A and B are shown apart, each in its own frame.
Chain A
Amino acid sequence: MIELSGIRKAFNQGQHNEYWALNGIDLAIEANKVTALRGPSGSGKTTLLTLVGCLARPTEGRVRLKREDISGLPERFLTEIRRRTFGFIFQQFNLIKGLTALENIILPAYPTGQPRRELLERAETLLANLKLGHRRDAKVEWLSGGEQQRVAICRALINDPEAVIADEPTANLDTHLAKEFMAILEALAGEGRTILLTSHDPLVVESAVVDRVVDMRDGVIVDCG
């Protein structure tokens, strides 16, 4: 589904603190599979996620999404592709405080201008699937960590993306909740979604749900899985 070739990514380019987070990555991520990126912090796995998920552009190299080269696209179009293709689950959940669970979930669909009723229906279904229907009108800051993550998952799915990207999804969860998350992940994979995640949690990378583990260190891939 996604092919990366010769990817390099620099920060603070041309300044004294120039720093190459990625240094020559070649990787193909297959559709309908669960791929995990593993590596110590600073290994560049999150940066790689942002490039795959169209959040950022590589400094050098090509990113191809379904054969189409998207590495040179301006942000405006990357955003469009991202909205359609990817759902994001962030480590810190990144919900907007002061809004209810339901309002948070439909946020990514605002720019599409779909009718509100459709959005709400879809959001309710997603919430019900994750057994969170009773919390729909609760402000997100009143939810527990596990509940917040489930709201974040619903939000990732509101635009019905083909791929889900999760950054250290179990880092803020206890074992019980992490196992629950893996169950949800399995269900998502079962629906035929491509999943890409970063983690160094053995519970995740050693789980049977994960089809392939890619090891990274210092901005390069050390084991392609």
Chain B
Amino acid sequence: MIFQPAIIALLLSSAICVLALAASMPFAIEVIRRWDIKSGSERQLRLERRTYLFSTLLVFVLATQLASVLLFVFNAEKMSGMFVGAMCAVGTLNVNPYGFPALNAKIALFFLAAMWLAINYVDSRARDYPLVHIKYALLLLLAPLLAASAWIEAQFFLDLKADVITSCCGSLFSEDTKTLVAEASALAPLPAMILFYGAMGLAIGVSSFHWAHGGNGGRGRGGYAVALAAALGFAAAIAGILSFISLYIYEHPHHHCPFCVLKPEYGYQGYALYLPLFVATAAGLAAGAIRPFAHVASLHVIVPEVSRRLAAIASIGFLLTTAVATVMILNSNLVLL
């Protein structure tokens, strides 16, 4: 393990999140077992007040996840100097097999927490809190995932050895390696561009349609469509960044790296690209997450309303991502096509 402040900070924050969630589990179980909205008993009052703690806690975990994804990449970037062959975050993440899984787990948790918060939000706006049982059951599922993510992260850091020779974005994203990421970056620019703009167009179109129909698009099934389009849009955007957007930013025909765009050398352009993408994807997925509950009596007005707003966020977010990517491509001196 390498003893480093940022690593300690990351491990510390994960540990606190896991502990906080673990400590609250018994209470979540009590909520599931004893909840009775009709009762006016003091216990029911206590349980209701406890729900405020859980939503605050989850907001805290979500914010921490988001911040720690950034810090994680940031730190990997910084540490690349310590590993032979590593020139950016990719190299550091490749030092041992836990690097990329740790990052992916963090991102996945961010999206899951966003979905939970969306469900929590619609539930707390309905007068009878219809989703309490489902919500806390989901929370029980989320807790082990959070712990697993923290465990992978810890493995990654504990297993970091400075004398490991690693491969960097040059080799990882080169055309002759056979991995999913390599496949994505090996996509020729033209099909990748078609995929990117197609998926983005689809995501924007579907979410705008859903938005325009007051969250009731496609006889209410629009929510699922938005989530699906958002997931697809996210994958296509990442593939697009790997295969051609990064090339335009670096103005280098073989530099496929999703992290270097975050570096000061490139004016932190990556943030302008990733931020709307993550927000839009989270909103889109959330629109899908709340959709199954639209048939609940007390939610059948609330779900479409919230769904509409989430679709609006997704639509604007994907539009922004596309616009930013397009501007970067147009401003680049590189000619790929």
Contact = CB atoms under 8 A, between A and B. Distances in A.
Most buried by B among A10, A11, A72: A72
Contact of A74 (B41, B42, B43, B127): B127
Interface residues of A, number: 17
A60 B49 CA distance: 19
A77 B127 CA distance: 7
A59 B127 contact: no
Nearest to B44: A57
Contacts of B128: 72
Interface in B269-310: none
Contacts of A75: 45, 48-49
A195 B68 CA distance: 55
Interface string A54-78: 0001111100000000011111110
B40 A57 contact: yes
B40 A74 contact: no
Contacts of A57: 40, 45
Given A74-B127, A76-B124, A59 B38 contact: no
B129 interface: yes
A87 B63 CA distance: 38
Interface in B20-69: 37-43, 45, 48-49
B159 to A, nearest CB: 47
A76 B51 CA distance: 11
Contact of A10 (B37, B42, B48, B124): B42
B49 A58 contact: no
Interface in B100-157: 124, 127-129
Most buried by A among B37, B40, B43: B40
A199 B128 CA distance: 35
Contacts of A77: 127
A13 B127 CA distance: 25
A75 B44 CA distance: 11
Contacts of A11: 42
Interface residues of B, number: 14
A13 B45 CA distance: 12
Contacts of A12: 42
Contacts of B127: 73-74, 77
B40 A72 contact: yes
B40 A71 contact: yes
A191 to B, nearest CB: 30
B54 to A, nearest CB: 14
Nearest to A75: B48
Most buried by A among B37, B43, B45, B49: B45
A60 B40 contact: yes
Contact of A72 (B37, B42, B43, B124): B37
A72 B39 CA distance: 7
B135 to A, nearest CB: 14
A59 to B, nearest CB: 5
Contacts of B39: 72
Contacts of B43: 13-14
Nearest to B36: A72
Interface in A34-87: 57-61, 71-77
Contacts of A13: 41-43
B40 A58 contact: yes
Nearest to B127: A77
Contacts of A73: 127
Contacts of B48: 74-75
Most buried by B among A10, A61, A72, A74: A74
Contacts of B37: 72, 74
B181 to A, nearest CB: 46
Contacts of A72: 37-40, 128
Given A74-B48, A75-B48, A75-B49, A59 B40 contact: yes
A58 B40 CA distance: 6
B124 A59 contact: no
Contacts of A71: 40
A74 B38 contact: no
Contacts of A10: 42
Given A59-B42, A75-B48, 7 more contacts: A10-B42, A58-B40, A59-B40, A72-B39, A74-B37, A76-B124, A77-B127
Q: Which 10 A-B pairs have the closest CB atoms?
A: A57-B40, A59-B40, A13-B42, A72-B38, A58-B40, A77-B127, A74-B48, A73-B127, A13-B41, A72-B37
Interface of B: 37-43, 45, 48-49, 124, 127-129
17 contacts: A11-B42, A13-B42, A59-B40, A59-B41, A60-B40, A71-B40, A72-B37, A72-B38, A72-B39, A72-B40, A73-B127, A74-B127, A74-B129, A75-B48, A75-B49, A76-B124, A77-B127
